[in-house]
Structure 1
Amino acid sequence: MSRSFAGQTIGVLGLARSGLAAARLALGRGAHVYASDAGDGEAARAAADQVRALGGDAQTGGHDLAKLAACSRIVLSPGIPPTAAILREPAIQGVPVVPEIELAYEQLDGPVIGITGTNGKTTVTSLTEHLLRAAGIDAVAGGNIGTALSELALREPQPAWNVVECSSFQLGGIDRFTPAIGMLTNLAPDHLDWYADLEDYYADKARLFRNATDASRWILNAEDERAATLIGDAPGTRYWFRAASMPKSDDELGGWMDGRELRIRTEAGRTESLGSADRLRILGPHNIANALAASLAARLAGASAESIAEALPRFEAPPHRLQPVSERGGVLWVNDSKATNVASTRVAIRGMSRPTVLLLGGRHKGEPYTEMAGDLAGRVRTVIAFGEAGAQIAADLSGAVDVQHVEGGFDEVMARAASVARPGDAVLLSPACSSFDMFRNYEERGRRFAELARGEGE
């Protein structure tokens, strides 16, 4: 699929990892490039220097509208929301804006497994890559998971399979992006601070099916009504995964749990066992669904059931996703910093087997915290509310659970958690908020949580 960009002038908005990779890819395929970033920090300036060294034009601390208006198209880094002010500038309204994954897709030689959903997509993406590589298949994860898809397009040789985590922002701007295997893990409210309403958010998720053909294969959550129906009448074969129910018929393709046994069926008349769910090293019942979904993707991409069954127990939770990071004084500390919405935090709470001290807070994303009140009973002993959303969290949950509002920094939040937790408890960072009030991203928040949980840097 690789082709030349010669004769095109491509603008790149954002000079973090994905933006820099997109600029490098465009320049390497013969385009003229203008890349810009509103920030002027050390990392942005270093990226701009790299673009210039490769023959491109780069700017930090702002954007040149005249240069952007002269571009054939503008590539949007995934960290820039669709509500960004620069995208509303009249001067560039006639210029097509595409996500970085669209530019990279045009340059990929191998097929794509496209994975989206509100929660679980990073775990499923990582697990799918793990299962394929364990089977001896050259597969690499990219997209919203941390490695830009443009980086995979630049590799020599390119991967045989590209396992791509897709955010709603990335899918919202696609044109030709077409996964050979597509997956929707689940749907729940999220990003309501950026989308006008929930339907707009779901509509961007639905663009995963935009270019469906009869050859498409779709892995769908049979137990999430909205996720199951979002596909509509798009062509392709459907594979349903179920963690808490059995297939509707002997003809249904997909994955399920029979007792404690994981089973999949990817062709009529052939059911295969993947071993017991008790062997999984990832916490929570939701991860049984994630394991089934990833196993279906790996099986459809060529991994054998035997290799999948062997590899599943070797997979550990990715960082910041219900990741146990320390146990000190009988207290288990669990890092779920990636839980940046209420639905994800509710899943985490339901997966806890110990009395829990829950750390909730950060920058508010537009959802009421009252929705998790029913999940707290019998599981969460104390909520520690912090950050910009702390006061609202305390107000929403004060009648449902003991809430302690900490108005200081994150180190003070952790000190309060340590003073409240008792032997046999778990301290769970599952904040239901973005991190941008205190940290650059959820990874930095999770790393600081892990450091303090281990007693480092106190």
Structure 2
Amino acid sequence: MKKLVVLGAGESGVGTAILGKQKGYTVFVSDKGAIAEKYKKVLLNNGISFEEEKHTIAEIIDADIVMKSPGIPDSVPLVTELKEKGISVISEIEFASKFSKSVIVGVTGSNGKTTTTMLVNHILKKANLNVGMGGNIGDSFAQQVAESDFDIQVLELSSFQLDGIEDFAPHIAIITNITPDHLDRYNYKFENYVESKFRITKNQTEDDFLIYDADDEVIASWLKNNKVKATLLPFSLRNEVEQGAYIKDNKIFIKYNTEIEIMKTKTLAVKGNHNTKNAMAAAMAATLLKVRKDTIRESLEDFEGAAHRLEPVLKINGVQYINDSKATNVNATYYALDSMQTPTVWIVGGVDKGNDYLDLMPLVREKVKAIVCLGVDNQKIMQTFYNVVDLIVETAGAEEATKVAYKIAEKGDTVLLSPACASFDLFESYEDRGNKFKQAVREL
């Protein structure tokens, strides 16, 4: 019997353990931290052996194959040792795809991947197709393969998940955009991160498709210098494309074999240029999967966005509060500020991943009346913006930040939580941060 060792007992780890056991592997799960109760129950119920708060090296290095959780960097000594011993270290996506019969739509990008994944899933569900959604969102892909292999699987894929693939190839790949993010995991080299994203297409064949943002210079220049086997289907807000998706007369058109007018951009449920792009990518994927254009249009008109992404919370005394906690990098915050129509009190900060805030300067000048810092170290934010924003206040948590913003904001303003940073200093996750902000707003 082959031995599968799973490092990290979160959603992807436990899902992989279940699938591994089902497929006849001897499974051992090891987590350096404490395992959450809900995952411990699943492991116990399935009779899977595990350890927590330690890694027993002897148990781990006699593995035939190791599945590493995306949160564990490749550079940790244990992973280096496994690789030196010639033991294959892969991601859940790689492991699960070997056993999956689904047609896979894979979505990656620095921003917009959650919304695009949800949009594709929403359209395909509306078309009554047997579809599952997983990867970096929702239920573990591996567990879905074990329990209910869907005809189509829509996967949100982070660069960390793509780093751990060998043969994985989606039938349809989508790259929403590429901007600097997670550089702390890529030796602060942007090109390493770019290579990671493009792993999504590296095993694709001529029968597969790569849908991408033609307006994104990073993507365009990579494609100029590298060969891709898949059929290229760009989407663009600026130019008409030979095949792919584009805008003409404020309407979305899809061109693949024939040209189809999908809908007017103004009736899209999610607003802003970045969301128009997400909708174009999703419509293109759905068209390849033979979904009728009326179903695509209806789905894009009634879609409800991702939680913690420009999510309206409440209006109090004429001030709109918006939760954009999912903006964990500068580019995501750029989109948020760009879509603000009223004077904005901006709540920002957290764990800096090597951010350059200068990109935000023109928007901050134009839209932001005050900055409320939410993080342990706010030096960089304060140094960047002290000249352009009259009022910058430091706070020590979501509740205090919300109260300060409440005092500053006047009727007709917007209070925007869009941190541009990771959340690990004061919060468990961006969801935890967003929920604490929403709670604080409700208590005002």
Q: What is the TM-score when the length of structure 2 is the normalising length?
A: 0.95
Query: How far 1:85 moved relative to its partner?
Result: 4.7
| Residues 1:50 and 1:312: Cα distance change in structure 2 (over 3 Å) | closer
Q: Deviations over 1:396-438 (max 9, x none)?
A: 2212223423242221111111111111111111101000001
Q: State the SS of the aligned residue for 1:377.
A: helix
Q: State the SS of the aligned residue for 2:184.
A: coil
Range with bigger deviation, 103-112 or 381-390? 381-390
| 1:188-207 equivalence runs, <5 A | 188-196=179-187, 197-207=189-199
Moved over 3 A (4+): 83-86, 88-93
- Counterpart check, 1:27 vs 2:17: no
Residue in 1 that maps onto 2:60: 68
Q: Structure 1: how far apart are the matches of 2:256 and 2:349?
A: 42
- Counterpart check, 1:247 vs 2:240: yes
Residue in 1 that maps onto 2:344: 356
Instruction: Report the AA paired with residue 255 of structure 1.
Output: A
Q: Structure 2: how far apart are the matches of 1:337 and 1:271?
A: 38
Q: Deviations over 1:53-106 (max 9, x none)?
A: 423220000111111100011101223233445323479743211011111111
> What are the ranges of 5 or more consecutive residues in structure 1 without an aligned counterpart?
1-6
| 1:1-16 equivalence runs, <5 A | 7-16=1-10
Residue in 2 that maps onto 1:184: 175
Taking every aligned residue pair, what percent have the same amino acid on both sides?
A: 34
Range with bigger deviation, 72-81 or 309-318? 72-81
Q: State the SS of the aligned residue for 1:122.
A: helix
| 1:309-320 equivalence runs, <5 A | 309-320=297-308
| 1:26-425 equivalence runs, <5 A | 26-40=20-34, 43=36, 47-89=39-81, 93-156=85-148, 158-196=149-187, 197-231=189-223, 232-243=226-237, 245-248=238-241, 252-267=242-257, 270-425=258-413
Instruction: Report the AA paired with residue 141 of structure 1.
Output: M
Query: How far 1:187 moved relative to its partner?
Result: 0.6
Q: Structure 1: how far apart are the matches of 2:130 and 2:111?
A: 26
Q: Structure 1: how far apart are the matches of 2:84 and 2:19?
A: 23
Q: Structure 1: how far apart are the matches of 2:342 and 2:74?
A: 40
| Residues 1:62 and 1:326: Cα distance change in structure 2 (over 3 Å) | same
On the 8 A contact 1:212/1:236 being kept in 2, the answer is yes
On the 8 A contact 2:243/2:255 being kept in 1, the answer is yes
Q: Structure 2: how far apart are the matches of 1:378 and 1:371?
A: 13
Q: Structure 1: how far apart are the matches of 2:322 and 2:198?
A: 32
Q: Structure 1: how far apart are the matches of 2:111 and 2:181?
A: 10
Q: Deviations over 1:423-457 (max 9, x none)?
A: 111111110100000111111111111222233xx
| Residues 1:258 and 1:454: Cα distance change in structure 2 (over 3 Å) | farther
Query: How far 1:229 moved relative to its partner?
Result: 3.7
> What are the ranges of 5 or more consecutive residues in structure 2 without an aligned counterpart?
none
Q: Structure 1: how far apart are the matches of 2:78 and 2:420?
A: 28
Query: How far 1:46 moved relative to its partner?
Result: 5.1
CA RMSD across the alignment = 1.7
Q: Structure 2: how far apart are the matches of 1:90 and 1:253?
A: 45
On the 8 A contact 2:82/2:89 being kept in 1, the answer is no
Instruction: Report the AA paired with residue 187 of structure 1.
Output: I
Q: Structure 1: how far apart are the matches of 2:128 and 2:82?
A: 50
| Residues 1:88 and 1:302: Cα distance change in structure 2 (over 3 Å) | same
Q: State the SS of the aligned residue for 1:326.
A: strand
Q: Structure 2: how far apart are the matches of 1:170 and 1:90?
A: 18
Range with bigger deviation, 75-84 or 319-328? 75-84
Number of aligned residues: 441
